[in-house]
Amino acid sequence: MAGISPKDMAQTIGMGLLSFPVTHFDSDNRFDEGPYRQHCAWMLEKPLAGLFAAGGTGEFFSLSLTEVRNVVAAAVKETNSKVPVVAGCGYGTQIAIELAQSAEQSGADGILLLPPYLISGKPDGFEAHIDAVCKSTSLGVIVYNRDNGIIEDEALARLCDNNPNLVGYKDGVGDIELMTRIYTRLGDRLTYIGGLPTAETFAAPYLKMGVTTYSSAIFNFLPDWALDFYKAVRAEDQATVLAGLRDFVMPYIALRNKGKGYAVSIVKAGMQAIGRPAGPVRTPLTDLSESEMAELKALIAKVQPTALKTAA
């Protein structure tokens, strides 16, 4: 959104559900911009608070730096300031700086700083990494706390003091004590995003800890279901939330857990199931088997049979 400040971007995305679109690949395994933009346009027909381009669901770590730039630029063009666009950013410090600056040049409104690739370092090294990326851009920065990139509350507070554009914290760990310490220390200084795989599972309890939004990969293929579930979470409608967990989320997770890396693969499978294919996942990820695909279609039909009409 042209001219939006980091603070306003963070407040905006905290007010509704977040979209993390898959990245489309053609038969030659190249980024397929046309279908990707069509998918973004389709998602934007629904009331979203933000679109995260080239994120984890978008297979960030399988994209070249040029492809990340192209995916983000395509999302910015298609979104056309309707909602904030937040770009995936990661790897080592120098590459992350390059990606952050590229996102700014492409017109993105913020970056999601994913954990560094493969390596782990001392806490002060990770703090310096985040600090350097924040200082390299005027965009709002959201830190993704996950895997080998865990930031403690005291370090996060220092980073916030030193970087006004550090405006968001996305939790992909599920450490309730850490989340509580961070929220207690920083309060509304940050916008908090639920980022565990299949974030719907944790949405209701996390709301109690100040996490007002989350990344919904399911939105890619069941946008109406995802929005209804989010509304029930925000309304603290426990009966509807539990029904959604029982009827869809828990069996979906059981299917997701059948293969490593399926957190992304199952989303692209869902796209194929509803007749909006986005191409295969890139290796080392693998696609669902035929039997798993059939199981997913049956699950979708159970909760929203109209979603399969385009696939008939």
pLDDT by 10s per residue, the chain, length 312: 667 999 999 999 999 999 999 999 999 999 999 999 999 999 999 999 999 999 999 999 999 999 999 999 999 999 999 999 999 999 999 999 999 999 999 999 999 999 987 777 888 999 999 999 999 999 999 999 988 889 999 999 999 999 999 999 999 999 999 999 999 999 999 999 999 889 999 999 999 999 999 999 999 999 999 999 999 999 999 999 999 999 999 999 999 999 999 999 999 999 999 999 999 999 999 999 999 999 999 999 999 888 886 544
CATH number at residue 214: 3.20.20.70
pLDDT at 197: 85
Query: Whole-angstrom Cα distance, residue 230 to residue 214?
Result: 9
Question: CB–CB of 215/264 below 8 Å?
Answer: no
Burial (CB count <10 Å: 0-12, 13-18, 19+), residue 237: middle
CB atoms within 10 A of CB 148: 12
Query: Whole-angstrom Cα distance, residue 195 to residue 183?
Result: 16
Report if residue 116 sits inside a domain: yes
Collapsing DSSP to helix, strand or coil, 191 comes out as strand
Report if residue 278 sits inside a domain: no
Query: Whole-angstrom Cα distance, residue 280 to residue 257?
Result: 19
List residues forming the annotated binding site for pyruvate: 57
Report if residue 312 sits inside a domain: no
pTM across the whole model = 0.95
pLDDT at 312: 44
Question: CB–CB of 75/51 below 8 Å?
Answer: yes
CA-based nearest residue to 172, from 190, 207, 198? 198
Report if residue 55 sits inside a domain: yes
List residues forming the annotated binding site: 57
Report if residue 194 sits inside a domain: yes
Report if residue 259 sits inside a domain: no
Collapsing DSSP to helix, strand or coil, 73 comes out as helix
Instruction: Give the angle 59-270-76 at the CA atoms, nearest 5°.
Output: 45
| Residue range(s) defining the domain that contains residue 60 | 6-235
How many structural domains is the chain composed of?
A: 1
pLDDT at 120: 77
Report if residue 108 sits inside a domain: yes
Report if residue 189 sits inside a domain: yes
CA-based nearest residue to 71, from 38, 33, 114, 41? 33
Residues annotated as catalytic (active site), given as ranges? 144, 170
CA-based nearest residue to 73, from 48, 22, 41, 108? 108
